[in-house]
């Protein structure tokens, strides 16, 4: 399976990562052969882009692929200096977020990301969090901005060779399906929606991606943590960034029982399962330390018996239409 690097943790998502640890984490990923790195202005309000860009400038430009996002502009905010936490990021940079999915907003976001990264170009430029989960009732207006002008900016950047690919980076597949009606896209980064726990995109969205010619990058394959830890820890595990509800706990407990029967780690199964779909280009777990990098690489490379997957299907825990790993990563 193809493993990439999710850069939200290097923006200090939920916990601080010091600069030395961030560099060590990126070095471990590089040494492990990871060459796709995803970041965004939102992650640490510029911090993740700065850290990842500083590291990648030391590598040959042809040896890696970098993706970042548009839709949130960062404005200086003197009132934010010294604030310990904002938007879930600990000690972020002193900026405030302004949403802008228009032509001018996309162009400015692209230019500012180039400066923070310190790179000559961005390979994959994704529209960030444009759906209902982020914007609620304001989502139609933001999508209209994208359809009427923001997409044109993305298409121009691609046509000029300033970016190689364009797409969306979101937590809901429905807005990606809507986006396919307004233009041609290369990549959709979908977080948390096609996992060992939930496969709703399997029947309509993923086949539509294949027909459209867009490959899928999968984030959030542990569904905010519950598929990494299981249900048996001392604390209530998280699902969708909140404590897991009882029905999710019960479903994951069922998956754990099958894991126990076959001696399979639930985290290993969660990492490998979604990568088997032909629409999926790569999987990008969030990585915050060298240890997490090494664990992800180890999990991606373990062999899982085919009988394990068959038992999950027979137990009604995995959609029978889902492509399954072939017994080894």
Active site residues: 38, 43, 69
- DSSP letter at 328? B
Q: Quick one: 247 exposed, middle or buried, by C-beta within 10 A (0-12, 13-18, 19+)?
A: exposed
What are the start-end ranges of the H helices in the chain?
A: 19-31, 47-56, 103-117, 132-135, 139-145, 151-159, 173-179, 205-212, 226-229, 246-262, 266-272, 290-301, 306-314
What span, in angstroms and rounded, lies between the C-alpha atoms of 256 and 271?
14
Q: Which two tokens stand for residue 320?
A: 């029978």
- DSSP letter at 286? B
What span, in angstroms and rounded, lies between the C-alpha atoms of 186 and 126?
10
Q: Which two tokens stand for residue 310?
A: 């068959």
- DSSP letter at 223? G
SS3 state at 83: coil
Residues 325/239/175/273 CA torsion (nearest 10 deg): 0
Residue 81: HSE in the Cβ half-sphere, 13 Å Cα cutoff: 4
Q: Which two tokens stand for residue 43?
A: 């992650």
- DSSP letter at 3? B
């Amino acid at each position: 399976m193809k493993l990439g690097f999710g850069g939200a943790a290097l923006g200090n998502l939920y916990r601080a990562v010091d600069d030395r640890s961030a560099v060590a984490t990126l070095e471990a990923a590089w040494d492990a052969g990871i060459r796709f790195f995803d970041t965004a202005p939102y992650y640490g309000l510029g911090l993740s882009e700065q850290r990842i860009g500083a590291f990648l400038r030391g590598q040959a430009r042809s040896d890696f692929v970098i993706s970042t996002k548009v839709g949130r502009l960062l404005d200086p905010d003197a009132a934010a200096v010294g604030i310990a936490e904002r938007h879930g990021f600990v000690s972020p940079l002193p900026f405030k977020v302004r949403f802008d999915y228009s032509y001018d907003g996309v162009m400015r976001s692209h230019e500012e990301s180039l400066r923070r990264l310190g790179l000559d170009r961005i390979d994959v430029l994704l529209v960030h969090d444009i759906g209902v989960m982020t914007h609620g009732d304001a989502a139609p207006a933001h999508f209209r901005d994208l359809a009427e002008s923001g997409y044109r900016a993305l298409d121009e950047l691609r046509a000029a060779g300033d970016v190689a690919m364009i797409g969306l980076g979101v937590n809901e597949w429905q807005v990606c399906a809507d986006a396919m009606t307004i233009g041609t896209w290369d990549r959709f980064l979908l977080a948390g929606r096609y996992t060992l726990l939930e496969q709703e995109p399997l029947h309509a969205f993923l086949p539509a991606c294949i027909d459209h010619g867009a490959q899928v990058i999968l984030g959030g394959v542990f569904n905010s943590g519950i598929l990494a830890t299981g249900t048996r820890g001392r604390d209530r595990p998280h699902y969708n960034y909140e404590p897991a509800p009882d029905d999710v706990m019960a479903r994951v407990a069922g998956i754990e029982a099958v894991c126990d029967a076959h001696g399979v780690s639930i985290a290993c199964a969660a990492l490998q399962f979604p990568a088997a779909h032909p629409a999926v280009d790569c999987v990008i777990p969030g990585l915050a330390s060298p240890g997490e990098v090494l664990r992800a690489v180890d999990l991606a490379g373990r062999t899982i018996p085919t009988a394990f997957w068959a038992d999950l299907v027979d137990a009604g825990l995995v959609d029978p239409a889902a492509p399954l790993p072939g017994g080894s990563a």
